[in-house]
């Protein structure tokens, strides 16, 4: 790497990179035609009138299930909705404890509170940034009903150990795969190891329709419960209705809410799914090259758990070298990297026990009594590994990994330049 005597770009120096970066999302070739077909179909939602053809939602559900080699997929309006479906279908409710990683997107925790359960934050593994199985074991109480394992950023959690802990204690394991579409553990897709696997298809995700989600399961009972929960207590009937009638049947089995995916989103997702593996392969190839370059510079890229056979790169994450940046202000470091590269480089998610986006006390709907309010107070948790690592992690979105080798060298050059000006970035 070249030595940089010039000033940092953030201090009006010359940036490493001025050329544009790849943008995301990138539509599949058939996406526009798929949208046009829905637009002219006379059915824009699964609650719309049946027109004698299979719904786009059913087509996507079948293909997403087939992609995972699993029996059932229930699409939903978002990743948050999908996780809520999974929790409620598995019987998680008022007063139940659900163990979560201390570092994850805030919706992992707010969704648990949303079903009147109690989030319990466990610390993370310093290599993978995912749930530490030993911390999970220590957090289990008689009130523990479920473990939600999040495959964070570009790592797969230690599913072997987490599944063993869950099975031994008779606790439901749910996989939050919002950032891991297509990742594999021991040759099987993530989302197929727990009772339910949940996914987000929000704008930034590697499989996206702008907003959307899905839950997958091998259990037909859980699948039927999730169908009811996402469509106001209705589900598809066993036979097709007359044209013009609603395809959803009012069974009276289970009260639900409206968390349905639109026909437009389902049509886009079906087309985008055909491109997922190609995009994932490109990101993985570039990430492997970037790993080698950054390790040489002293950074420590995120690792995946032993047993991982395919990684999905939603976010690239690396820990700052302690020797070169012993007292770095992470905000200053990421600001400097952003200025050098021309795309956002950010700190990691804040630990949930100190995350400003997670504050149940700010909403009166969660004020269910003094005891419950104490239980859902995030400040009661101590997460030393999460706290230490999030002060040292830099991250960026997967779009930057869709370029070529020269793009990865630009990223590595910027990271090296920032190291060489480390004294100016001290806290």
Catalytic (active-site) positions: 205
Residue 368 pairs in a beta bridge with: none
CA dist 395 → 273, 335, 342 (Å): 25, 12, 14
Separation CA 207–CA 398 (nearest Å): 12
Q: Give the whole-angstrom CA distance, residue 85 versus residue 3.
A: 53
- The residues near 219 (Cβ < 8 Å, ≥ 6 apart) are 72, 195, 196
Do 68 and 197 meet the contact criterion of CB atoms below 8 Å apart? yes
- Contact in structure between 172 and 90 (CB atoms under 8 Å): yes
Indicate the SS3 state at residue 42: coil
Task: Please tell me the distance from the alpha carbon of residue 296 to that of residue 36, in angstroms, as a whole number.
Answer: 49
The residues, ordered by sequence, that sit 6+ positions from 276 with a Cβ below 8 Å of its Cβ are 67, 181, 182, 206, 207
| Measured distance CA(346)–CA(50) in Å, rounded | 46
Cβ atoms 226, 253 nearer than 8 A: no
The Cα–Cα gap between 165 and 140 comes to 10
């Amino acid at each position: 790497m070249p030595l940089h005597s010039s000033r940092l770009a953030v201090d009006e120096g010359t940036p490493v990179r001025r050329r544009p970066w790849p943008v995301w999302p990138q539509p599949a070739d058939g996406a526009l035609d798929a949208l046009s077909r829905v637009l002219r179909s006379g059915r824009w939602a699964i609650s719309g009138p049946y027109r004698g053809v299979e719904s786009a939602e059913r087509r996507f559900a079948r293909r997403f299930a087939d992609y995972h080699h699993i029996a059932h997929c229930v699409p939903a309006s978002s990743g948050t909705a999908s996780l809520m479906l999974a929790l409620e279908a598995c019987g998680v409710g008022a007063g139940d404890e659900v163990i979560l990683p201390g570092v994850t997107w805030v919706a992992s925790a707010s969704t648990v509170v949303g079903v009147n359960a109690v989030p319990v934050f466990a610390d993370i593994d310093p290599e993978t940034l995912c749930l530490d199985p030993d911390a999970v074991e220590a957090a289990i109480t008689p009130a523990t009903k479920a473990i939600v394992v999040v495959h964070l950023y570009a790592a797969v959690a230690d599913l072997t150990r987490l599944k063993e802990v869950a099975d031994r204690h008779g606790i439901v394991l749910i996989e939050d795969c919002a950032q891991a579409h297509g990742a594999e553990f021991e040759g099987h897709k993530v989302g197929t190891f727990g009772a339910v696997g949940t996914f987000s298809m929000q704008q930034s995700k590697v499989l996206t329709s702008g907003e959307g989600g899905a839950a997958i399961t091998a259990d037909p009972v859980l699948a039927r419960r999730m169908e009811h929960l996402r469509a106001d207590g209705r589900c598809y009937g066993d036979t097709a209705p007359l044209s013009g009638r609603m395809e959803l049947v009012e069974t009276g089995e289970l009260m639900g809410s409206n968390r349905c995916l639109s026909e437009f989103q389902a049509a886009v997702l079906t087309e985008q799914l055909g491109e997922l593996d190609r995009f994932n392969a490109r990101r993985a190839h570039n990430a492997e090259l970037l790993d080698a370059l950054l390790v040489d510079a002293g950074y420590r890229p995120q690792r995946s758990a032993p047993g991982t056979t395919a990684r999905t790169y939603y976010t690239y994450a690396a820990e700052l070298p302690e020797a070169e940046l012993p007292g770095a202000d992470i905000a200053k470091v990421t600001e400097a990297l952003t200025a050098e590269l021309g795309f956002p480089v950010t700190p990691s998610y804040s630990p949930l026990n100190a995350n400003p986006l997670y504050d149940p006390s700010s909403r009166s709907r969660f004020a269910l009594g003094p005891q419950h309010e104490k239980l859902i107070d995030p400040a009661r948790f101590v997460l030393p590994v999460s706290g230490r690592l999030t002060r040292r992690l830099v991250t960026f979105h997967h779009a930057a990994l869709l370029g070529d080798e020269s793009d990865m060298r630009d990223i590595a050059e910027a990271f090296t330049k920032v190291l060489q000006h480390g004294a100016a970035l001290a806290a």
